[in-house]
Structure 1
């Protein structure tokens, strides 16, 4: 037996082959755990079959959904995480079961203090009393993967100390081995619209789960997250004490705050609930569309309101990184959805991996229009991500949609944030914050790719879409932080650049389309911006922009503009 196989359950990285090699020679461990799993799920399947036999499937469906949640909780950490992951997979799970899985709690009874303190001493190489001046007698919180103590360093800083559950990696490895084995056998018999091998989904899940239990990785995530929000007066990220941390122990700054679900304490502290919601939504969108590095598990236990009105993030085990093109396509897809351009939306779905490139999208477009149009409703203000997800799940069984691994995390993040916002204010409309932000991102277009997405939105079938530009400006201006002049300057610079040649031509065509000057459209645009852009501002804007261009450059542009 090779050394790699021997160490497989304690490895810091998920390695399906090494885990398989290890358990191939330990059938007694596999059989024991498999029996527990089969016993619980077997009874559940028998009850499902009896429901069908006696015609009680519909009546008992809510009860069965609750049962599956309890079974996952009883089976422990791996299956709790599986349930949470499946709660964002409408391509795999029925809607009624999804709703129950969303309620799955990541909480388990704490393990004993003696074991926890031994882990700390073993990992950090010192006695507890030599590391912390004080440490709480019992954990203040316990989850499926670890528990947290409160302490004070000898230097005086108050800290939170995360300690991983004992023997966690062997348990996760064994469960993942059994899941992968079961996936290879069961996949042909399951009525799932996957789009790819079920074992690959298990491997994706295993990789993210092993990243989550590596506290060194979590420390890096926290530091990267803090760097992204450095200087942001509305977001707080705890400092990581690397010298008191390891792969199984994490010491970080203690956050004095109030859980976002404790509305009474928040109001008693004089904090503005709507402002906190807006901070949470905006910071979440910045993670997705600006930095591409996002917190994939923003549940109430990981978000706090600080006494000075900031939003504090903790627990950075479940994070992911988006590529630039993906951020831009997401921004484009949101705008296409609100504009009800379902053909363009279907093309974005192909780019993002929800649809295979060789799929004929034409039959899918009417279905998108019907289902998503119903979800959006009569007005933008009725939009919410939970409704979109619920309605979209109906398409998953009829058309070859699939949810890429990254988007399972994104969906989870968005739905969790929206659910938290609605628990604080049932009348809150997430689109009223998110769509202005997306519009701003497209209008300011910091990258060539993002500017191309703006062109995709504004120009359709070779025609300039005046109403879309008006809508985007109007909605972007609904955010008090949106500044029109800097955006106009960016737009003018783009128009005068070589890259902006196509847009210059399209604007001239749009203004003179159908052999007439489209003064009405120009007047409507002017009415939107005239309050902010005065004649003096226009002169200063033009002067500062042209100053950045050489005379020769302007000379080369002018013939193009008037040709």
Structure 2
């Protein structure tokens, strides 16, 4: 990663931190989400009651903190909450044009009627132009498993700086860690799986393919959402329909994965 790449990412992160301290913007984001999910049987975004200066007041919501589900939830509860968590974080762009940007356990509660309540909308971001087309190509490359296709996509969308060599086989090996989640009807995220991914991608040798890659600055807030969200999913430990959820974000991906039927997980009845 070049110095210019690092500066671009830092600049983008600084901009997002500034946005998080803008309560007027946060209130506007929350109103967009509240309107988009109004009447949902599965999700609850509290309404904004008042916003002025550094004051933001929203509706009070009672519920079970997500941290309690993580600590002692039974498997059926983990499956359902994990499914809701994943779907909320991937359906925002289609429903209100925004990615939810702060997925950590303190921002979620499970209400008495089973809905997932979500708070703190200061870190939201609009998908960059052409995002779904890019995501469809990248996901198709992972599912197809062809190293040259993955390498070509990485270069095409700015994940490799001009003139930098890329080990296509090593890239395919790394991205292949995520293939199972995309092709199976359901996938269980666990801390054991997360540890295996982290150990694999953080190998301490100069030939590590991650040294050849860079994250385009425009994708920094979305990358933050995906990485943090995956971490929370692994803490929840639920079995979720990843492919179904991805299709709500990237409908262009529909024809790219296997044709195996999508079966319901144990936590049925989720819209």
TM-score, normalising length: structure 1: 0.40
Shift of 1:256: 0.7
Contact 1:367/1:395 (8 A) holds in 2: yes
2:125 is equivalent to residue 320 of structure 1: yes
Q: Deviations over 1:96-141 (max 9, x none)?
A: xxxxxxxxxxxxxxxxxxxxxxxxxxxxxxxxxxxxxxxxxxxxxx
Q: Hey, what does 1:369 align to over in structure 2?
A: 172
Q: Distance in 2 between matches of 1:221 and 1:339?
A: 37
Q: Distance in 1 between matches of 2:73 and 2:173?
A: 42
Q: Distance in 1 between matches of 2:131 and 2:245?
A: 17
2:103 is equivalent to residue 298 of structure 1: yes
Q: Distance in 1 between matches of 2:55 and 2:78?
A: 34
1:216 to 24, 34, 37: 24
Q: Distance in 1 between matches of 2:4 and 2:67?
A: 39
Shift of 1:341: 3.0
Q: Distance in 2 between matches of 1:387 and 1:284?
A: 24
Q: Residue 38 of structure 2: SS of its match in structure 1?
A: coil
Q: Hey, what does 2:210 align to over in structure 1?
A: 396
Q: Deviations over 1:423-470 (max 9, x none)?
A: 233xx35xx52123335766xx5xxxx3xx667x4xxxxxxxxxx5xx
Structure 1 window deviating more from structure 2 (275-284 vs 406-415): it is: 406-415
Q: How does 1:113-512 map to 2 (within 5 A)?
A: 193-194=1-2, 196=4, 198-242=6-50, 245-263=51-69, 272-287=77-92, 292-323=97-128, 325-356=130-161, 358-359=162-163, 363-373=166-176, 381=187, 387-388=196-197, 391-393=200-202, 394-397=208-211, 399=212, 401-425=213-237, 428-429=238-239, 432-439=240-247, 445=251, 450=252, 457=256, 468=257, 471=258, 473-475=259-261, 477-479=262-264
Structure 1 unaligned blocks of 5 or more: 1-192, 458-467, 482-563
Q: Residue 260 of structure 2: SS of its match in structure 1?
A: helix
Q: Deviations over 1:352-376 (max 9, x none)?
A: 43123x4577x53222123333675
Q: Call closer, same or farther: CA 1:479–1:323 in 2, change over 3 Å.
A: farther
Higher relative contact order (CA 8 A, sep 6+): 2
Structure 2 unaligned blocks of 5 or more: 203-207
Shift of 1:313: 0.8
Shift of 1:206: 2.1
Q: Distance in 1 between matches of 2:70 and 2:245?
A: 30
Shift of 1:254: 1.0
Contact 1:305/1:312 (8 A) holds in 2: yes
Q: Call closer, same or farther: CA 1:290–1:329 in 2, change over 3 Å.
A: farther
Contact 2:30/2:121 (8 A) holds in 1: yes
**Rg larger in structure:** 1
Q: Call closer, same or farther: CA 1:249–1:292 in 2, change over 3 Å.
A: same
**Bigger helix share:** 1
Shift of 1:265: 9.6
Contact 2:5/2:216 (8 A) holds in 1: no
Tell me the number of residue pairs that the alignment of Structure 1 and Structure 2 aligns. 254
Shift of 1:250: 0.8
Q: Distance in 1 between matches of 2:45 and 2:124?
A: 14
Contact 1:372/1:392 (8 A) holds in 2: no
